Amino acid sequence: MDTMQKLKILADSAKYDVSCSSSGSDRKNKNGLGNGHVAGICHSFSADGRCISLLKVLMTNICIFDCKYCINRKSNEVERAAFTPQEIAELTINFYRRNYIEGLFLSSGIMKDADCTMEKMYEAIYLLRTKYNYHGYIHVKTIPGCSQELIDKMGKLVDRMSINIELPSIPSLKLLAPNKDTDKIVKPMNYVAKNIEEDKKFVRAGQTTQMIIGATEDSDYQILSLSQGMYDNLKMKRVYYSGYVPVNPDRLLPMVDTPVPLRRENRLYQADWLLRFYNFKTDELLSSDNANFNYDIDPKCNWALRNLNQFPIEINKADYSTLLRIPGIGVLSARKIISARKHTILTFEDLKRMNIVMKRARYFITCNGKYCMDTKFFQEQVITNALTYHENMLMKSSSVHEQITLFGSDS
C-alpha cells in the first residue's frame, strides 16, 4: 500500500477526534521550517466546527481495543493501515511546503501495546524536529498506559498533548470501553500537569481532553462537573465535547438514527466558556434536580432568569466580575465598560455605541439609576413567560434519553 492510500484511510479514521483546534504555543522559528507561536495556527474550520488546518491523521488504525463507539475497534471489519515514522515526517513536511497545512495532529490506534505505539509516534516527531528542523505546531494524542519516560521525551518535543477521558463516568467507561482503565487515563493527565507546572518548555500549549456525549445517559451536570474538576485540579487547557455519532451497531449504544443534536454540544461549550472565563461554577448552572441544559435558552441567560433577585445591575457601579454575569455582556464588553467609566457616566446610548448586546442586556441593567424597560411589563410579561416556558421545557426533557428522543432531529 503506498503512502497516499494509507493517508486516505488514516485521515478518515481520525475525523471523529475533535480536540485539535488552536495552539497557544510559544515555540518560535529557529532558522527552520514552521512557527507554532502563541498567535495560533488554526484559522480554518469545517461546517461542524472541526479544525481543518492541521494534518490530522492516525499513526495506525490497527487497534487491540474494542470500544463499542469506535469505528476502529478490533471487531470491525475495516481497511487497516499503518504509517512508518519516516512517512509521517515526510508527509508533514511536504504538505507544509505546499501550504496545505500549518501543523500536525497525530493520534493512533493501539498496536501491540501502549509503549510500542507511543514509541513509533515519538520517532516520527523526533525526525520532524531534528532531521527536518521543523518548528511548527505539533499536537500528539498520548496513548493511555504508556510509560512516563515516553511522556517525558514526547513532552519536550510537542506543543500540546491530550489524553481522551472518553466518557463522563467510570460506569460508562466500563460499559462501552471495557479495555480502558480510568487510572491509566487520569495518572498521565496528572503527570503531564505536574511537568507543565515545573517546566515552561514542557508541552508549551498545555494539555486537552475529549469526552463523548450522548452515548450514555450521563447528564450535562455530570459532564460539566467532570470538566470543572479537570480545570481546577489538572489545569486542563480545554475540554472538548464530541456528540455521539452512531457508526457501529451495538446493543449497548443508543438506538438513534441521527447524531446527538449539535445544540447539546453548543450548550455545553457555552457553559464550559462560563467556567473558564466568567468565574461560574457548575453548581450555579445545573444541579442534580435540574441536570440538563435547555436547548432554547443559553446557560448564562438561564442562570439570570433563575436569579432575578440579583438584577437589575447598575452599569456604572458594578465590578468586573458582576458585569460578566449580565446576559449580553462578555469579557471584552466588560473591559470596555470599566475603562469608559473612568471618564464619564454611561448611558444606554453609550452602551449601544460600545456594541453591547442590548437586546439581552437591557432587561437586566440600569444606567445611572434608570431602567430602559417598563418595570411592570418586564416583571409580568417577559420574566413570568420565560420562566414558565423554561420550567415546561425542563419537565419535558428531564433526562438525556428523553432529550435525544425529543430533539433527535435537531428541529
Whether 200 is in a domain gets the answer yes
Quote the domain boundaries for residue 120: 3-213
Whether 401 is in a domain gets the answer no
C-alpha cell at 268: 455545553
Whether 129 is in a domain gets the answer yes
- Three-state secondary-structure class, residue 155: helix
Q: How sure is the predictor about 374, in pLDDT bands with cuts at 50, 70 and 90? A: low
* CA-wise closest residue to 102 among 32, 15, 42: 42
Please give the tally of structural domains in the chain.
1
Cis omega (within 30 of 0) for bond into 312 = yes
Tens-digit pLDDT profile for residues 213-249: 989 999 999 999 999 999 999 989 999 999 888 888 8
Whether 372 is in a domain gets the answer no
Side-chain half-sphere CA neighbours of 281 within 13 A: 5
DSSP string computed for 109-124: ---S-HHHHHHHHHHH
Q: What end-to-end distance do the CA atoms of the chain give, in Å?
A: 44
Q: Quote the pLDDT of residue 19.
A: 67
Q: Quote the pLDDT of residue 364.
A: 93
Whether 184 is in a domain gets the answer yes
Strand partners, 213: 243
If one counts every other C-beta atom within 10 angstroms of the C-beta of residue 119, the result is 17
- CA quadruple 290, 292, 297, 302: dihedral positive or negative? positive
Whether 139 is in a domain gets the answer yes
Which of these ranges, 117-121, 218-222, 293-297, has the smallest mean pLDDT?
293-297
Whether 196 is in a domain gets the answer yes
* CA-wise closest residue to 294 among 324, 263, 337, 325: 263
Q: How sure is the predictor about 51, in pLDDT bands with cuts at 50, 70 and 90? A: low
Percent of the chain with pLDDT over 70: 81
Between the alpha carbon of residue 91 and those of residues 4, 6, 79, 100, the distances in Å are 9, 11, 20, 11
Q: What is the pTM assigned to this prediction?
A: 0.82
Residue 10: give its domain's CATH number. Answer: 3.20.20
Whether 241 is in a domain gets the answer no
Q: CA–CA separation, 374 vs 212, rounded Å?
A: 45
